[in-house]
Structure 1
Amino acid sequence: MKKIVPILGLVFLFAMSVLTHGELKEQTQLVDIVHLMEEQEVQIENWRLYTRGTGKEVRDIHEYEEELEQMMASEKNFQWDLKDWKQHEHWKVTGTNDVEKLTVVAYPQEEQYSMYLIYEFMGTGNPQDVETITSFFLKRLDQLYVETPTVFTTVTGYHEEIKPSLMYDFGSELVEKFSAEKIEELKEETFISISAYNEQWEDSLNTNGNNMNLQVALRQDPRLGAKTTITIGTPIITTEY
């Protein structure tokens, strides 16, 4: 069974409104996470960069369609799913290609609709040129958003030789190597989660009166032998783990 830290749901719901924003060049720790995983002999399985930004306000569905048509015209390498996009209380259209996902959403707000653009850039396996990936991603943000959005970085991998009794120590070592201070933690026999704060990173969110911008989770499934799944996210993990 996959487990999620109890605080994750609440944290994610409020993350967008409480995050502090840094400069665009500081908006992803993908390079740091990948390099540390490689150093610790963690085999990377997948990675994901996620962001969400506020777009224009539209008066009605016709203005939403106009904005959507402009997006589709500028992003011609996407396959757009227009099936059942008119929901009861909101409108949602998603475009995808091999490594990117764009979602254009509009929610009712008083007498208008607020538009949001959700952008994801993802891949499987170990990214071979993480610096180039990061550079491409940040350029895409500059193209897609007027204001600098907050980036959520998540990388998942596995290690074959971590004993259950040493999972917490391994997770603590990862936090220490990020020069972060532990804020919250959850310890179970086959599952460890540690939330921490690195004062050198610009983005952070508040949980129980403390700033945090790093989550490290380790999970073992007895059915898979000694394999340990390791997920690292900043400012929080945004996927199941």
Structure 2
Amino acid sequence: MKLGPDITRIAALLGEPARANMLSALMGGEAWTAGELAREAGVTPQTASSHLAQLEAGGLIRRRCEGRHNYFVLAGQDVADVMEQLALLAGRAGHMRTRPGPRDPAMRKARVCYNHLAGDAGVAMLDALIAQGRIVDREGSLVITDAGRAFARDFGVCLDASAKRPLCKACLDWSVRRSHLAGQFGIGLLDRIYALGWARRVEGTRIVAFSAPGQHAFEQIFGRIGEPVAMTSP
């Protein structure tokens, strides 16, 4: 008998298209009902209930009961990380949809990755924070500097060093194939972007849509979306 974790069960859960579509929908960090997930997956409510039960038993999603309604969310950040990395691997291996949807460019520009900003905008934001000396990249491990803590405070982001969630974390972006910012700092920055009215979440999608003034304000701090940031000298 082989020892160690059995990845085959998780792989089987992720390998079914309807279940994969449900998990992808939950990558936005919001709670969805069974009916909403059934429509997203293109299956009947009865089939959706079976899939959701399997995902819940497999530890990939959690159920939230609100009155008479059940809602479903990803079980945690680690599930979102796996989904993001699988998307990256699929793209690198050439396993792409043959008919990309009309929302694909918007998804690539800016989207939610569970609870932080991803896509061109997310990568631009991390590039800028590193170039500005607010974050240091130590071989893929991100560390916030004193300048970064001051920036977070001035920007209205609360960081808690005693919390279990890391302050900074690199998350490899499937569409750009470079890292964007996760962790408390990444979550807090996206929350502030919403609060400042720079961007909004497009209902029913993971797309983060910037207004023209919002994109201008974002780019004043983090550089142009989709363009590399020149690194400053140490």
TM-score (norm. length: structure 2): 0.27
Task: Name which structure has the greater RCO, CA cutoff 8 Å, separation 6+.
Answer: 1
Which of the pair is proportionally richer in strand?
1
| Greater per-residue helix proportion | 2
- What is the TM-score when the length of structure 1 is the normalising length? 0.26
